[in-house]
Chains A and B, each alone.
Chain A
Amino acid sequence: MTEPMDMTAAEYVLGTLDPAERAAFEAVLRDDPQAVAAVATWQRRLAVLDAVAPDMMPSAELWHRIEAATRPQPANDNRVARGWRSMAVAAALIATVSSGLAVVGWQRPDAKPMDAVATLTPEGATPAVLVGWHDDSGRYEVRPVSMEADRVHAHQLWLIVEGAGPRSMGLIGNEARWIDGRSLRPGQAATIAVSVEPIGGSPTGAPTGPVIYSGKLVRLPQNA
């Protein structure tokens, strides 16, 4: 942790970075666990200043507005419940920082840790899909977090390694799944993306619909 980086982390927590500095630092937070840790340390140092804020009851109707805003649409009821329940065993090591999210790792407590992880997001929004890679077993672990699926399209996962075209990793739904990646190894640098395709998948073997989520696969530190 360099001093300038630590001061940037401190000002980030303080809220005094200007918009350009803040955007640049949020980009760093997306794949620098040290920066994420520095933010957590500053949050802890200054937390007493939150605790001394006066307790003020919000207006009585606010809870009803919040309830209405978070109630799932009836059509989505099942998928939301199923999706989240299947995540119960996984610990998502996501540190929420400001309006962005930095993923520093994510693993099952009872399994060998993954070696690389990608967070697939639409532009600058909440992660939609988490993809983990395991060197030893040669498998990808795919966990939809907040994917917007419908019934008339398929979502197809693609591996993009530098110097080669996208290769299909298969279709994904709202359930977590494992993908055999022994013939789809990510190498040192890869991007994973989700495109919207006709039911059954891309007819051409390459993405034909819009890419709605994508993310860089980031190698995790050895002892993470």
Chain B
Amino acid sequence: MDDLEDLLRRVGMQDRAAFAILYQRTSAKLNGIVRRILPEMTLADDVLQDVYVRIWRSAAGYEASRGRPVTWLAAIARNLAIDVRRREASRGLGRQVEYEPELGGAAPGIDAEAALALRRCLDVLDPTQRDMIVAAYCEGMSREELADRHARPVGTVKSWLHRGLAALKACLSDD
């Protein structure tokens, strides 16, 4: 089985066969990431298309020392999905669906230890701070949407996010 790093390297050289395998291997996960942020299927499909076009064009810039391939791919998917979500929100198409991530066992590309560490550290956070971080990351919620959900001013949301992130960083103590 080709590993993702090798596939990405080949995609960077515009190897179409490698691109097809990369799509088979990663599209269900990236689609899941996009759909958490954009539950509407038509929008999500368009975004996922853009995600893979972006991957095809930028794969040569992937640098293994800066992160795992899945992290790089997921960042592209999240960023494009969040861009579209913000654009839709400004047109008044917001939504309020709570998402509860399963931080259970291991997942492909991420070792069980990292999953456990993050779950442990999220657990020690203040519940509101934890919800805000997870909703921002997984659902792509903006500070304004978080302020609405928690009935707090945007400034408060920002300082809670910062406190939560600082606590998370201290807990993971991985610098």
Which residues of A approach B to under 8 Å, CB–CB? 3, 6-7, 10-11, 13-16, 18-19, 36, 40-41, 43-59, 62-63, 65-67, 69-70, 72, 80-81, 84-85, 87-88, 91-99, 101, 126-127, 145-146
Contact = CB atoms under 8 A, between A and B. Distances in A.
Contacts, number: 189
Interface in B25-43: 27-29, 31-33, 35-36, 41
B136 interface: yes
Interface residues of B, number: 75
A47 B52 contact: no
Contact of A50 (B61, B71, B82, B136): B71
A220 B6 CA distance: 28
A47 B118 CA distance: 9
Interface of B: 12-14, 19-20, 23, 27-29, 31-33, 35-36, 41, 45, 48-49, 52-53, 56-58, 60-63, 65-68, 70-72, 74-76, 78-80, 82-83, 86, 101-104, 107-110, 114-115, 118-119, 133-134, 136-138, 140-143, 146, 158, 161-162, 165-166, 168-169, 172, 174-175
Contacts of B110: 47-48, 50-51
B137 A66 contact: no
A49 B168 CA distance: 13
Main secondary structure, interface of B, reads: helix
Contact of B175 (A18, A41, A92): A41
A50 B78 contact: yes
Contacts of B67: 40, 43-44, 47
Contact of A7 (B28, B49, B162): B162
Given A52-B107, A62-B48, A96 B161 contact: no
Contacts of B48: 58, 62
Nearest to A12: B79
B118 to A, nearest CB: 4
A62 B161 contact: no
B117 to A, nearest CB: 8
In the A-B complex, the 8 residue pairs with the closest CB atoms: A94-B61, A51-B107, A50-B74, A53-B32, A51-B110, A55-B28, A48-B118, A70-B56
